[in-house]
Amino acid sequence: MEKILVTAPEYDKAAAFFETLEDFQCVRVPEQETELAAAIRREQARYVIIGVVKYTGPLYDALTAGGVIARFGVGHDGVDKKQAARRGIRCTNTPGVLDSSVAECAAGMLLLAARHFADTVADNRRGVWAPRIGTELAGKTLAIVGCGHIGSRLAAIAKNGFGMTICGFDITAPRDESCYDRFSMDFAEAVRGAQFLSLHIPDLPATRDFLNAEKLAALAPGAWVINTARGTVVDEDALYDAAASGRIGGAVLDVFRQEPYRPAPSGKDLRTLPNVLMTPHIGSSTAEACRRMAEAAVANIRHARDGRDDAMTIVS
Ligand code: 8YV
């Protein structure tokens, strides 16, 4: 039976699915690039399912023309599409299947920012009973940066569920404007008066360090930043300065420039700030989304095997 190599973290997120395929044998392999490349050569594999790690060279050398690099997820910034194309390798992703999971994660982070859940849960574990006063979300303003599928799903949850006012920012108009109270292509205008900002933009050359010192300065004093998109869209040193000085209320972050998180070369360590709450890139980590990402990644590979490139979700 033909093999699909699946990087270990992704295999473990949907093992029950990968173990029961009848037309492919899925093999759990290391995600580190040279080890992954060695596994591809050893198994003479044409198909590989990968996570968010950045792959720069050996992966593309190891696969042969006609092979598929299938992302288990939507963002494909870790894949060098040009190198792959030069070698006749197709790259795919799984859009649409994780929107609710990531949007729900961001919604939970809004509550985390507003209601001291992290501190009060930690207090209770230490036997400390210390109620704290939080902030009601109803009537507050949430700025959504990136009004695609995930941003718009969060907009609907926050507007219809929490009763927040939603302002959207993007470089093109949102497909569905009904969940936005206002929309602007001007950042300062979009975030005016917002107590919360949630990022939903991809990692592109144009979005690196998007949320920099200048844009942080445009936020209302005490505003909170939520990031479930990509670490690279935030200038982590500037965010550290804004949170450490109390200029912003704080940040709840699920994604980082380096994962697992490592402080920037400046040594400014976000983990040391009490108003910065961090989770280990779990936005899409629900059983439901993981199963759907696995199914969609395998579907892309099946289409490639069957010569149905038209049905593949190819990224370039
Ligand atoms: C990861 C993500 O793909 O879809 C994305 O872009 O960042 C995540 O869903 C997933 O966690 C990899 O296992």
Q: Evaluate whether 250 touches 273 at the Cβ level (below 8 Å).
A: yes
Residues 6+ apart with CB under 8 A from 290: 13, 14, 284
pLDDT band at 253, cuts 50/70/90? Answer: very high
3-class secondary-structure state, position 57: coil
Percent of the chain with pLDDT strictly greater than 90: 99
Across the chain, the runs of DSSP E, i.e. the strands, are 3-7, 25-29, 47-50, 68-71, 90-92, 141-145, 165-169, 182-184, 196-199, 224-227, 250-253, 276-278
Q: Evaluate whether 236 touches 256 at the Cβ level (below 8 Å).
A: yes
Tell me which amino acid residue 211 is: L
Question: Residues 21-32: pLDDT tens digits?
Answer: 999 999 999 999
116 catalytic residue (yes or no) = no
Average of per-residue pLDDT across 182-197 = 98
Distance between Cα 18 and ligand 1 center (Å): 17
Interhelix angle 149-156/99-115, nearest 10 degrees: 50
- At residue 92, φ and ψ (nearest 5 deg) are -130, 165
Task: Tell me what the pLDDT averaged over the chain comes to.
Answer: 98
| Residue 203 in contact with ligand 1 by CB distance below 6 A | no
pLDDT band at 36, cuts 50/70/90? Answer: very high
Is the pLDDT at 315 greater than 90? The verdict is yes
Percent of the chain with pLDDT strictly greater than 70: 100
Whole-angstrom distance, CA of residue 69 vs CA of residue 72:
10
Whole-angstrom distance, CA of residue 138 vs CA of residue 278:
24
Question: Residues 66-117: pLDDT tens digits?
Answer: 999 999 999 999 999 999 999 999 999 999 999 999 999 999 999 999 999 9
Average of per-residue pLDDT across 260-289 = 98
Is the pLDDT at 63 greater than 90? The verdict is yes
Is the pLDDT at 175 greater than 90? The verdict is no
Write the DSSP symbol of residue 25.
E
Distance between Cα 284 and ligand 1 center (Å): 6
Whole-angstrom distance, CA of residue 137 vs CA of residue 161:
10
**The ligand 1 atom nearest the CA atom of 282:** 11
Task: Note the pLDDT of residue 176.
Answer: 84
Spatial strand order of the sheet with 182-184 comes to: 182-184, 165-169, 141-145, 196-199, 224-227, 250-253, 276-278
Best mutation site among 28, 52, 149 for ligand 1, i.e. most ligand atoms within 8 A of its Cβ? 52
Provide the sign of the torsion angle of the four alpha carbons 203, 209, 104, 174, taken in this order.
negative
Best mutation site among 228, 293, 295, 313 for ligand 1, i.e. most ligand atoms within 8 A of its Cβ? 293
| Residue 284 in contact with ligand 1 by CB distance below 6 A | yes
Q: Evaluate whether 196 touches 172 at the Cβ level (below 8 Å).
A: no
Q: Of the candidates 192, 105, 100, which has an alpha carbon nearest to the alpha carbon of residue 150?
A: 100
Task: Note the pLDDT of residue 99.
Answer: 98
Q: Evaluate whether 9 touches 29 at the Cβ level (below 8 Å).
A: no
Beta bridge partners of 36: none
Whole-angstrom distance, CA of residue 97 vs CA of residue 298:
13
Q: SS3 helix, strand, coil % of the chain, rounded to 5?
A: 40, 15, 45
230 catalytic residue (yes or no) = yes
281 catalytic residue (yes or no) = yes
Whole-angstrom distance, CA of residue 69 vs CA of residue 274:
40
| Residue 211 in contact with ligand 1 by CB distance below 6 A | no
